[in-house]
């Protein structure tokens, strides 16, 4: 593909979202909508990327920088329409060569392939290429009026004649421009309309009047699904999840109850992973072949090796690494910890800021006491160690290979390899105490 510049319009305040957060920061599959548009542009081969944001949207600027620190950020101080917004990126447009694509930060399903198709239409001779789609009902959409294969006008629904209303090809919003023509066209767009705004779609009529080639490129309606309110955000999330579930199953992942499993945008599951019902994958999860995630587990920022088993009702937090054939039992939480091959963390345990050696056994109710209110400390448990149930391991602490910790212990000192550590009060029995206590209370 020739030189490609992409401008993404992302200045919306999110008024209809009823949110203090800018619209493009609302997430689908854990990724802000703007991130989808930026990644599609980059996958399509954009050499230069410009994002137009609203005033005071520093959090949007940070997202742009995190996604692509080479992207240019422009601020639209006044809301004067889509053409006005694109012109905020004038420095990028002045230097642009080849093709300029205009995308929107609130249409997260546009693909790199669609961007490439629009670009090819310009490379094939069009000065302007407009994405067209066929919605289930065209009512409310601008119609694309074509003649002899050329796009001659975009007519808004309210202005359309009876004949034009029968047109099913509608404006999808995305547009591509020959870089040589974009600034002359945009600079010629006026604001003589009821809203007093500069509309990007007016470039079609202007280009036709100047004898430039204008064409429509038909794409799928689902790609240009826009998000303007919370209901549409929920619909977009549902569309995303449905697509990810299907893709996972086609790639060899078993989803026992697909409709109950929720993926993140970057979830990576290898073939022969099995996921039971009601599992949530937050961002940053990888699972190798043969891993089993049992029901009602929540995973984030973690990695599962081959044959690892998690849950049911387990929570893996960022930094958790579960080794080959290791097991995390029900109602366990693991954070910033490496669980060695074949190790077992049984039910009702918390393992944080720790490493568990291969084959070690962590008894039920064990916790690593890793936080003193100010700092975090690590616990190191050696291979083959056995930690008895209901133990508290006060970090920083090391338990050597093959060591035993007696149940109910509060361990504050390192335990040598193959040693037994018991740290609990001696049992004391007072015969008759309970009977006397009840008598004093008037219960007997």
Cα 115 to chain center, whole Å?
21
φ/ψ (deg, to 5) at 150: -110, 145
Q: Distance between CA 240 and CA 277 in Å, rounded?
A: 18
Verify cis geometry, omega within 30 degrees of 0, for the bond prior to 378: no
As given in the structure block, the two tokens for residue 215 are: 């064409």
Q: Is 84 a catalytic residue?
A: no
Helix residue spans in 68-178 (DSSP H): 82-87, 90-95, 112-123, 162-165
As given in the structure block, the two tokens for residue 280 are: 């949530």
Q: Which of 3, 26, 181, 347 is catalytic?
A: 347
φ/ψ (deg, to 5) at 62: -65, -40
Residue in the block written with tokens 């022969």: 272
H helix and E strand count, the chain: 10, 35
Q: Helix, strand, coil shares of the chain as percentages rounded to 5?
A: 25, 30, 50
Among candidates 73, 95, 99, 79, which has minimal Cα distance to 8?
73
Whether residue 345 contacts residue 361, with contact meaning beta carbons closer than 8 Å, is answered with: no
Among candidates 136, 173, 171, 146, which has minimal Cα distance to 157?
171
DSSP 167-183: ---EEEEEEEEEHHHHH
Whether residue 399 contacts residue 419, with contact meaning beta carbons closer than 8 Å, is answered with: no
Whether residue 175 contacts residue 130, with contact meaning beta carbons closer than 8 Å, is answered with: yes
Q: Distance between CA 370 and CA 351 in Å, rounded?
A: 9
Whether residue 384 contacts residue 402, with contact meaning beta carbons closer than 8 Å, is answered with: yes
Whether residue 346 contacts residue 361, with contact meaning beta carbons closer than 8 Å, is answered with: yes
Q: How many CB atoms lie within 10 A of CB 58?
A: 9
The set of catalytic residues is 347
């Amino acid at each position: 593909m020739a030189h490609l510049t992409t401008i993404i319009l992302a200045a919306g305040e999110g008024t209809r979202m009823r949110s203090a957060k800018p619209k493009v920061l609302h997430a689908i599959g854990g990724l802000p909508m703007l991130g989808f548009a930026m990644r599609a542009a980059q996958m399509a081969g954009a050499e230069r990327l410009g994002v137009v944001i609203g005033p005071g949207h520093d959090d949007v600027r940070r997202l742009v920088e995190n996604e692509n620190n080479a992207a240019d950020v422009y601020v639209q101080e006044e809301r004067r329409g889509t053409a006005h917004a694109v012109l905020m990126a004038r420095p990028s447009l002045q230097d642009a060569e080849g093709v300029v694509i205009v995308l929107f930060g609130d249409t997260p399903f546009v693909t790199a392939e669609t961007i490439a198709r629009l670009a090819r239409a310009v490379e094939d001779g069009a000065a302007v290429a407009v994405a067209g789609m066929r919605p289930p009902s065209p009512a409310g959409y601008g119609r694309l009026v074509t003649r002899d294969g050329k796009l001659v006008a975009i007519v808004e629904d309210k202005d359309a004649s009876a004949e034009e209303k029968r047109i099913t090809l509608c404006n999808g919003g995305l547009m591509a421009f020959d870089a040589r023509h974009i600034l002359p066209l945009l600079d010629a767009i006026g604001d003589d309309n009821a809203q007093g705004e500069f509309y990007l779609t007016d470039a079609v009529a202007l280009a036709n009047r100047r004898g430039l080639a204008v064409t429509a490129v038909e794409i799928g309606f689902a790609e240009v699904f826009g998000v303007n309110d919370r209901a549409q955000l929920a619909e977009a999330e549902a569309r995303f999840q449905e697509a990810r579930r299907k893709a996972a199953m086609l790639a060899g992942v078993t989803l026992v109850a697909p409709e109950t499993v929720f993926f993140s945008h970057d979830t990576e599951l290898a073939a022969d992973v099995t996921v039971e019902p009601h599992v949530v994958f937050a961002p940053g999860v990888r699972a190798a072949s043969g891993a089993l995630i049992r029901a009602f587990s929540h995973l984030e920022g973690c990695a599962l090796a081959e044959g690892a088993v998690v849950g049911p009702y387990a929570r893996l937090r960022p930094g958790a690494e579960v080794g080959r054939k290791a097991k995390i039992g029900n109602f366990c939480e693991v954070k910033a910890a490496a669980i060695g091959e074949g190790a077992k963390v049984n039910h009702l345990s918390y393992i944080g800021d720790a490493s568990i050696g291969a084959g070690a056994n962590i008894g039920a109710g064990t916790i690593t006491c890793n936080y003193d209110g100010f700092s975090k400390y690590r616990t190191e448990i050696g291979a083959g160690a056995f930690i008895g149930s209901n133990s508290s391991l006060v970090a920083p602490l090391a338990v050597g290979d093959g060591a035993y910790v007696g149940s109910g212990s509060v361990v504050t000192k390192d335990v040598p390899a193959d040693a037994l550590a018991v740290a609990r009060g001696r049992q004391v029995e007072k015969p008759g105490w309970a009977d006397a206590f009840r008598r004093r209370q008037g219960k007997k």
